[in-house]
Amino acid sequence: MSSEARKHTVVVTECDHDAFAEELAVADARDITLRFANAATDAELVERCADADGILVQYAAITADVMDALPHLKAIGRYGVGVDSVDVAAATARGIAVCNVPDYGTEAVSDHAIAMALAVARGVTRLDRAVRRGEVDLSAVRPLRLIGGRTFGVLGAGRIGAAVARKARGLGFEVIGFDERANPGETFNGVQIVARDDLFARADVLSVHVPLDESTRGIVNQKRLASMPPGAIVVNTARGGVIDTPALVAALDAGHLGGAAIDCHDVEPLPVDHPLTRFENVVLSPHFAWYSEESYGELKRRTMENVVTVLEGGQPRNILNPEVLGPKATEEDAR
């Protein structure tokens, strides 16, 4: 069907996905034109999305200037949980809905966080590399300790943090957490909440699950790393900016930390000569914690559905600024 015969146009600004069957299925079922911009710059994005009623974004920064250059834009869909690349306040001021998919990867990310934590705690990757070099040397990974009796801390007890806590508890860890929305002594999403300083002071493993904003940028810093127990492990499957990376490198260099497991980085892709690549006790992955075949398909379908629902005048499943849809939508979201 030609684009003229269709109700709305949605453009994927840029994306590294290898197929778009889920998005196309939603588009065809709901009479939407879906187009792929493959924009590498703001100028290309604006040029190729000029007629877009909605856009789907993976990495592109959607600023106020970009929005002003897209006169038809009514909805922005972010492939993922975080929306730090989108100026939500500017979108709200312009009546543009911003949607994400906050729960699509809960199980995948929590699986990945636990897997990375255990890989460091048990020296799995160091042992694997040694075997491949023909080496059998226990001293390279000593000391390794049992899981039982150790303390697992979650910084951020939302959906993913709570899932990680549940899985860590099942392995035998004592689990504690900190969350801005709860008070010490409370149980929040199944997690026993402690004060933030107490979390850092007690956690043998610290798993980070907070969004990136001005209040969380660099929240894992030199002072807090220094307060952790000697030999502690830091795991990050949230956003690179929540950890002060130079401070993390310094703590690893000093031998204070027992290791780290980092999926999200300040610069992505991570340069091959990055300081973190020097450490045998650091496990790295390229921001793929979100991935499973199941979560991948769900992410793509729901990102498209959110945007199309806005364009059709409905209430999407996930929206960060429901006020742009009017009073009724805001009231429904609050409930």
φ, ψ at 61 (rounded to 5°): -80, 120
- The torsion region of residue 268 among left (phi > 0), alpha (psi -120 to 50) and beta comes to beta
Q: How far, in Å, CA of 221 to CA of 285, rounded?
A: 21
Q: Is 268 marked active-site?
A: yes
Strand pairing category for 205-208 and 191-192: unpaired
Catalytic residue from among 30, 35, 274, 287: 287
Catalytic residue from among 47, 135, 186, 268: 268
Q: Is 239 marked active-site?
A: yes
Helix (H, G, I), strand (E, B) or coil at 164: helix
Q: How far, in Å, CA of 52 to CA of 307, rounded?
A: 11
Residues facing 78 on adjacent strands = 57
| CA angle (252 as vertex; 248, 256 as ends), nearest 5 | 105
Q: How far, in Å, CA of 89 to CA of 182, rounded?
A: 26
Strand pairing category for 151-155 and 97-99: unpaired
Taking a C-beta distance cutoff of 8 angstroms, is the pair 153, 205 a contact? Answer: yes
Strands (E), the chain: 8-14, 32-36, 54-57, 75-78, 97-99, 151-155, 174-178, 187-188, 191-192, 205-208, 232-236, 257-262, 282-284
Catalytic residue from among 78, 239, 265, 302: 239
Both tokens assigned to 145:
């300790």
The residues that are catalytic are: 239, 268, 287
